[in-house]
Structure 1
Amino acid sequence: MKVTAASVAALAAGAVAAPSNTTPRSPSKAAAACSSAVTLDASTNVFKKYKLHANTFYREEVNKAVEQITDATLKAQAAKVADVGSFLWLDNIANIAKFDPAVEDLPCEDILGLVIYDLPGRDCAAKASNGELKYNELDRYKTEYIDPIVAKIKANPNSAFALLIEPDSLPNLVTNADLSTCQESKTAYEEGVAYALKSLNLPNVVMYVDAGHGGWLGWDANLKPGAEELAKVYKNAGSPKQVRGYATNIAGWNAWDEEPGEFSDASDAKYNSCQNEKTYVTKFSAALKTAGFPNHAIVDTGRNAVTGLREEWGDWCNVKGAGFGVRPTADTGLELADAFVWGKPGGESDGTSDESATRYDSFCGKPDAYKPSPEAGEWNQAYFLDLLKNAKPQF
């Protein structure tokens, strides 16, 4: 990297795993499924027609959290979080079992957001959310992970799906090429993402490939290489028509349109003109268009209500003082941004603060990280309450 801070920011890769619980949960209500097959036009913004589904798994997590709250006002506010649409993380082979009960709870007017997240050598630049597959197990990724998901989507043609493809993968290849773990994973990442895009190119699916955030690929030196990396994999997949664009700020903390940006006063700010996600979407979309990749974005606003909390761009783990942000909506004020979404379910940990744990990552022990925190994906009640209290707008 030409810019030291950019390589540090690239370590924002980790700890976005979903909970490991695979127990099917009862639908919260009877869903009125579509009466005929769904066809999504990926040349349009489908979030203008469909509402992001408040999936049954996050709903139950929130409902359990509500039961533990004694303050009446806070309890009422917390209950409303269960109705917010968020993406469901299929973060390992076992968690594909979450698919069926989630679809059972899906009305026709909603779209189910799914995170496809189990690449071989996953999160090569972080430890907190390393995956189950080794870097040389690409065949398992294809046959035991992607293929079963494809089969389930094909078995549900009357439902709409928005897929967020492999957080942190391709951005890591752009900025962390010096790490041996990322070098080992390069082939599996590129071939795996291409296989996922090609295989999941189904009529009732719209796909967004993860592209980090403004503090990662937004550095001036990273914009063009980042766009070219996404375009390379997309073209290798045959330029699937159901790919709409990319996802930004997933499990992140960056403000949408704050001016000046959170790190605008930093000594190296002159090397990063993308000081907020709105600027990043504008600039990265232009680079993607040049590279030949669909250039519309979805932006995670699930935890970005409060800024000025981090010491550096790259601090990604359970940031103290964070708050729930803008609820999912297609009203972003920018044509290139299809929707604000909740990608990371607020309350699920980014990674453990236990230094003796195998998956401990030093970023989870930094001064701006909340402590104590459990393993990635496990529920942290105290942190959930902070997100609720600091929410903007408030519930």
Structure 2
Amino acid sequence: MRPVLSRGLTAAAAFALVSGLGVAAATSASAAAGCQVSYSVNQWNTGFTGTVNVTNLGDPISGGWNVAWTFAGNQRVTQGWSATISQSGTRVTATNPSWSTTIGTGASVNFGFNADYSGTNTAPASFALNGVTCTGSTTGGPSTPPTSNPPPAGNKADNPYAGARGYVNPEWKAKAEGEPGGTRVSNNPTAVWMDRIAAIAGSTGSSSNGSMGMRAHLDAALAQGAGYIQFVIYNLPGRDCAALASNGELGPADLPRYKSEYIDPIAAIQADAKYASLRIINIIEIDSLPNLVTNTSGQAGATSQCDTMKANGGYVNGIAYALQKLGALPNTYNYMDAAHHGWIGWDSNFNPVADLMKSTVQASGSLNNVAGFITNTANYSALTEPYFTVGTTVGGTSVRQSKWVDWNQYVDELSFAQAFRSRLVSIGFPSNIGMLIDTSRNGWGGSARPARASTSTTVDTFVNESRIDRRIHAGNWCNQSGAGLGERPRSAPASGIDAYVWVKPPGESDGSSSLIPNNEGKGFDQMCDPNYTGNARNGNSRTGALPNAPISGAWFSAQFRELMANAYPPLT
């Protein structure tokens, strides 16, 4: 249930070079060859991350490709991804990986690298593909313009994910590819978490927050030729009132700062005409509004902080302000957090949360300020349970009576998301709203994954032996042992679902297993301690958390490796 917060180091500068690039793919003298390259850099005092995007303007390339360039200074590549990169003196060659040997006409490939330097980090003067220097046009045939995702025109896209390539965060990509086998998943788009004011510009030092600020990520998305980029807007006053690991920098009374120092600068950056061709997707304030229904006075999970945030209106007013400012932009798409089925799947929570969503969006000035809603962000709820449904009975007893389901109306995330969407439309939201489901950690593969329904006639045994979700309790949310990567990001996978997404970047910790002092406002939550025996919100069960976890947002190698090992669908 609890999300993580973003990354470390900062980009001191960013620039981009766009040039043509020749293609030596012709099979006859009349074959057309040509291509275009965009080269972008996010740099700091002694190093930088480079991104190269190559678009083929000529005839298709098959059998492999390589891109070569010469550095003007003392730049030295230290790590690469999505290509095998070698360097001799100032000459660098990037050769295709085994899974990317072709480039069709109008198609693109991209790769990146980390490098160090001193002095001036001058961009290469030219590039060559398969030995032919770029000319910016085709040779031996008619010129073919590069393809890209068209900018939104007039009305916004009904589904911003459809027909668009997602932005691959180079910082997450580098960490993923630093793990054995990480290249199998490192090209998936993940969201960028704007978890505090400093993250907007980027921050220096060894913080777990990333070096790249919002503009740097947007510039990198342009360089990649991406069609959409995802940001998590996550810095409410009194943030995450029912947990500690993801508490934030703003106190309960800091709504004015949230508006003027956080939302306003974000809106100003996203409004820059430079980014008009990008579909900017904002995931609005994870773990906020549902707390006002489930964790205030009279509820089993009540906390004084949640009571405070309900009374002072900080969550509702802050989110309404964010929706209004960001929803007014022509190429932005707001998706509000709608928790997950293991949180609000009961009748007592389901309709009240939907009603609160509506009143909050109305406070923004228009229901059209949202494109849809997202469930399961940073959580582990299974996408589907293939061996039973909420209507299954065992020996005449409904599975709803099992300890695991606990009278919930839903047993998996897809059925919940579709039902919640229907409820939202029924109370007045536009009929074209869509849902997102975060599938970054809900694959539940590996040897513990059931292969068939249980034959037991005892309902608890049947459910426990049949369920894909292998958590001890559905309320467990921190660094869950045995979890796996879920469905890879893709658009329009099911009715009413705009996309499966990886909003939570796999490999980033949910919270530390023990108290770790830090200057990021991140506390220690016992739900991240594998030895904690639980509380009312998880049925007084053990947490199922992995040991030796770092603070939230920091890279957790052991978790990432386990997620890959247990991926479902399996990795190849």
State the TM-score, normalizing by the size of structure 1: 0.88
CA offsets, 1:245-269, max 9 Å, x none? 1000001111112142698563373
CA offsets, 1:32-58, max 9 Å, x none? 897985348456122112122212221
Q: Which moved more, 1:349-358 or 1:78-87?
A: 349-358
Is the CA contact 2:470–2:482 (under 8 Å) kept in the aligned structure 1? Answer: yes
The match for 1:100 is 215
Question: Deviation of residue 271 (structure 1)?
Answer: 2.6
AA matched with 1:95? A
1:180 has 2:304 as partner: yes
Measure, in 1, the Cα distance between the counterparts of 2:258 and 2:8: 18
Is the CA contact 1:37–1:157 (under 8 Å) kept in the aligned structure 2? Answer: yes
AA matched with 1:213? H
Do the aligned partners of residues 36 and 296 (structure 1) sit closer, same or farther apart at CA in structure 2, a change above 3 Å counting?
closer
CA offsets, 1:287-324, max 9 Å, x none? 21122235420000001000432111110000001111
CA offsets, 1:352-394, max 9 Å, x none? 0014757111111144100010000000111111111111223
Question: Deviation of residue 282 (structure 1)?
Answer: 2.1
CA offsets, 1:166-190, max 9 Å, x none? 0011111111122210122231100
1:127 has 2:244 as partner: yes
Do the aligned partners of residues 157 and 34 (structure 1) sit closer, same or farther apart at CA in structure 2, a change above 3 Å counting?
farther
The match for 1:115 is 232
Is the CA contact 1:329–1:341 (under 8 Å) kept in the aligned structure 2? Answer: yes
Measure, in 1, the Cα distance between the counterparts of 2:11 and 2:343: 35
The match for 2:347 is 220
1:281 has 2:417 as partner: yes
Measure, in 2, the Cα distance between the counterparts of 1:217 and 1:39: 37
The match for 2:333 is 206
Measure, in 1, the Cα distance between the counterparts of 2:556 and 2:383: 25
Ranges in structure 1 where 5+ consecutive residues have no aligned partner: 1-11, 67-74
Question: Pairwise mapping of residues 29-68 of structure 1 onto structure 2 (< 5 A)?
Answer: 29-30=52-53, 38-39=152-153, 41-42=155-156, 44-63=158-177, 65-66=178-179
Specify which of 410, 418, 440 is matched with residue 302 of structure 1: 440
Question: Deviation of residue 192 (structure 1)?
Answer: 0.3
Do the aligned partners of residues 219 and 351 (structure 1) sit closer, same or farther apart at CA in structure 2, a change above 3 Å counting?
same
Do the aligned partners of residues 292 and 16 (structure 1) sit closer, same or farther apart at CA in structure 2, a change above 3 Å counting?
farther
1:388 has 2:388 as partner: no
Measure, in 2, the Cα distance between the counterparts of 1:303 and 1:41: 34
Specify which of 11, 17, 39 is matched with residue 5 of structure 2: 17
AA matched with 1:47? Y
The match for 1:347 is 507
Specify which of 510, 521, 525 is matched with residue 361 of structure 1: 525
Runs of 4+ residues over 6 Å off in structure 1: 31-36
Aligned length: 372
**What SS does structure 2 have at the residue aligned with 1:385?**
helix
AA matched with 2:159? N
Measure, in 1, the Cα distance between the counterparts of 2:367 and 2:154: 13
AA matched with 1:371? P
* More strand by percentage: 2
**What SS does structure 2 have at the residue aligned with 1:317?**
coil
**What SS does structure 1 have at the residue aligned with 2:493?**
coil
The match for 2:358 is 231
AA matched with 1:246? F
AA matched with 1:185? M
Measure, in 2, the Cα distance between the counterparts of 1:247 and 1:115: 11
Is the CA contact 1:27–1:102 (under 8 Å) kept in the aligned structure 2? Answer: no
The match for 2:281 is 162
Measure, in 1, the Cα distance between the counterparts of 2:389 and 2:382: 8
* More helix by percentage: 1
AA matched with 2:403? S
Is the CA contact 2:484–2:564 (under 8 Å) kept in the aligned structure 1? Answer: yes
Measure, in 1, the Cα distance between the counterparts of 2:284 and 2:381: 20
The structure, 1 or 2, with the larger RCO (C-alpha pairs under 8 Å, 6+ apart) is 1
Q: Which moved more, 1:148-157 or 1:43-52?
A: 43-52
Measure, in 1, the Cα distance between the counterparts of 2:148 and 2:270: 14
AA matched with 2:552? A
Measure, in 1, the Cα distance between the counterparts of 2:437 and 2:289: 17
AA matched with 1:184? T
Is the CA contact 1:29–1:105 (under 8 Å) kept in the aligned structure 2? Answer: no
Question: Deviation of residue 200 (structure 1)?
Answer: 0.2
**What SS does structure 1 have at the residue aligned with 2:494?**
coil
**Which of structures 1 and 2 has the bigger CA Rg?**
2
Do the aligned partners of residues 35 and 170 (structure 1) sit closer, same or farther apart at CA in structure 2, a change above 3 Å counting?
closer
Do the aligned partners of residues 380 and 232 (structure 1) sit closer, same or farther apart at CA in structure 2, a change above 3 Å counting?
same
Measure, in 2, the Cα distance between the counterparts of 1:41 and 1:110: 16
Question: Deviation of residue 243 (structure 1)?
Answer: 1.2
Measure, in 1, the Cα distance between the counterparts of 2:358 and 2:545: 34
Do the aligned partners of residues 287 and 161 (structure 1) sit closer, same or farther apart at CA in structure 2, a change above 3 Å counting?
same
Measure, in 2, the Cα distance between the counterparts of 1:110 and 1:243: 19
Question: Deviation of residue 206 (structure 1)?
Answer: 0.9
Measure, in 1, the Cα distance between the counterparts of 2:344 and 2:528: 22
Measure, in 1, the Cα distance between the counterparts of 2:563 and 2:191: 18
Do the aligned partners of residues 390 and 35 (structure 1) sit closer, same or farther apart at CA in structure 2, a change above 3 Å counting?
closer
Is the CA contact 2:156–2:331 (under 8 Å) kept in the aligned structure 1? Answer: no
Is the CA contact 2:242–2:306 (under 8 Å) kept in the aligned structure 1? Answer: yes
Is the CA contact 1:214–1:277 (under 8 Å) kept in the aligned structure 2? Answer: yes
Q: Which moved more, 1:14-23 or 1:361-370?
A: 14-23
The match for 2:484 is 323
Question: Deviation of residue 275 (structure 1)?
Answer: 1.0
Is the CA contact 2:3–2:504 (under 8 Å) kept in the aligned structure 1? Answer: no
Question: Deviation of residue 157 (structure 1)?
Answer: 2.2
1:138 has 2:255 as partner: yes
The match for 1:78 is 182
RMSD after superposition? 2.3
**What SS does structure 1 have at the residue aligned with 2:244?**
coil
**What SS does structure 2 have at the residue aligned with 1:197?**
helix
Do the aligned partners of residues 81 and 370 (structure 1) sit closer, same or farther apart at CA in structure 2, a change above 3 Å counting?
same
Is the CA contact 1:176–1:182 (under 8 Å) kept in the aligned structure 2? Answer: yes
Ranges in structure 2 where 5+ consecutive residues have no aligned partner: 13-41, 43-48, 56-146, 202-212, 298-302, 391-398, 445-467, 531-541
The match for 1:189 is 315
CA offsets, 1:213-232, max 9 Å, x none? 01111112211101001000
**What SS does structure 1 have at the residue aligned with 2:308?**
helix
CA offsets, 1:38-94, max 9 Å, x none? 34845612211212221222112223x23xxxxxxxx3x311322011111011111
Measure, in 1, the Cα distance between the counterparts of 2:523 and 2:406: 35
Do the aligned partners of residues 79 and 291 (structure 1) sit closer, same or farther apart at CA in structure 2, a change above 3 Å counting?
same
Do the aligned partners of residues 167 and 22 (structure 1) sit closer, same or farther apart at CA in structure 2, a change above 3 Å counting?
farther
AA matched with 2:481? K
